[in-house]
Every structure is written in C-alpha cells, then in structure tokens.
Amino acid sequence: MIIAANFKTNHTRKSTREFVSRVDEYAKKIGSSVEARIYPVATALDNFEIDEHIKVGAQNFYPTCTGSFTGEIGFEQLQEFGVDSVLVGHSERRHVLKEGSELIVEKFNFAKEKGVEILYCVGEPKEVREAGIDAVMTYVWEQFSGIDLEYERLVVAYEPVWAIGTGLTASYEDIKEVLEKLRAKIRKPLLYGGSVKLDNVSEILDIENCDGVLVGTASWKTETFIEMIKTAQNKGD
Ligand code: PEP
C-alpha cells in the first residue's frame, strides 16, 4: 500500500526535515512495509538518508534537465537530491495554475524517460460529477490520453477536483465505482485522494482496488501521517 503526503505550499526546510526524520524513525521502528511518499516544497528537497520504503519526491518540475526556463526546476536539480518520484497532473496544477494537457503529457514523458516513479493524478470537477458516472469516466479517460498506462513505474491517483482541499470526500460507492472502471484498463497501483482524513482513511483503504491514498491537508501533521501509515500497515498484517 502507498500512503502519500502532498505538502503543497506548506512546511519549511526545517519542519520538512523533522517530518521526514520522524516518519523514518517510525517506519524503522515497526519495520513498516507501507510505501510512504512525501512531496515537500522544492526548497525543502534534500539528500535524506531514509528507509527503503520511504521516498521524498517532487511536486513539480519542468520537462528539461537544464536550460533557460526562469523560475523553473529541471531534472538536474532534482537528481542532485536523488529524487525518484514525481507528481504529474495534480488538479491544482491543472485548474489553479492552468497547466494544459500538452505540458502534462510532456512532463509525463520526460519523467518516464528518466525512469522515475510517476504519481499521475486525474479527477473530475463538480459539474462533471453531477452529470453522472459516464461523464466522469469520459472526462477521466481523456486525462489519460497520451499517457503510457504500461509505464512500469506508474501510480495513478484518482482525485475528484471538488474533493481536494474542501473537506468533502467522495462517497465510498463513488470511489469504488471509479476505481473499478480504472482497474479494467490499468494494472498499476490505484490511489484515492480528496480530503482523506484520519477518520475515513481506514474505510477508504478497504475499498476494492484501492492501493493507497494521496493526502494533502491531513498529512501536514506528522502524527496524523504516521497514524495513516499505521492504519495501512495493520491492514497488511
Ligand atoms: C491533494 O493535494 O492531492 C489532496 C488530496 O489534498 P486534500 O487531502 O487536502 O484534499
């Protein structure tokens, strides 16, 4: 199972280091086999010496190694910190930062060429959800166009846009239905994301075809994130 923390624009270098070190300490102490992912802000990336089941990845990058892209971060800079996992297609990049599908596919292909793990996010806005499951799936499959579903290191996160950072979670039935439809074509780990909290993570992890969660807001507190890892670990025992 994968339990991933997206820090978005939160935490500093110092608090990220403390967070990573506490998660690492916990994972080592219990011999956790849960795959933990932590995506801090780029300025907090570092060469962390951590358990093999934990990766500190990048929330974003520009599809280049180096070059003239003022303000962007390329792969040479990520590789300096041994980054081996990246987020691509997160809804805040698509909808808030207006990243188009062409750039998203370019980023995916670049990361794929570099051989890193790609946590690829898809999900529908509220009006699409209100139009029903067929509309949701048409929208979501469209977000996969140009994306190699056979990429060995692909992880997919289904994150309804209206559930991200809003406190609203999709119903267990809705999550189950979408994951089942994704599973028909995708043989890679499938995560759910969208207001996952300590009080719903266990039920979400129990949903058929759910291989983990991508957590924003609730993951920013170390204790909560560790509790989520513990919940996932207990399911594996
Ligand atoms: C996310 O950032 O991917 C996310 C799911 O955020 P939140 O848990 O805050 O909804």
Residue 237 has pLDDT above 70, yes or no: no
Residue 141 has pLDDT above 80, yes or no: yes
Confirm or reject: Cβ of 34 under 6 Å from ligand 1.
no
Residue 75 has pLDDT above 80, yes or no: yes
Q: How does 69-102 read in b/e, with b if 16+ C-beta sit within 10 Å?
A: eeeebbbebbeebebbbbbbbbbbbbeeeebeee
Q: Report d(CA 62, CA 69) in Å as an integer.
A: 8
For the question of whether the overall pTM of this predicted structure is more than 0.95, the answer is yes
Q: For 144-157, what is the mean pLDDT? A: 98
Helix segments in 70-132, DSSP class H: 75-79, 91, 101-114, 126-130
Please tell me the distance between residue 134's alpha carbon and the centre of ligand 1 in angstroms: 24
Confirm or reject: Cβ of 1 under 6 Å from ligand 1.
no
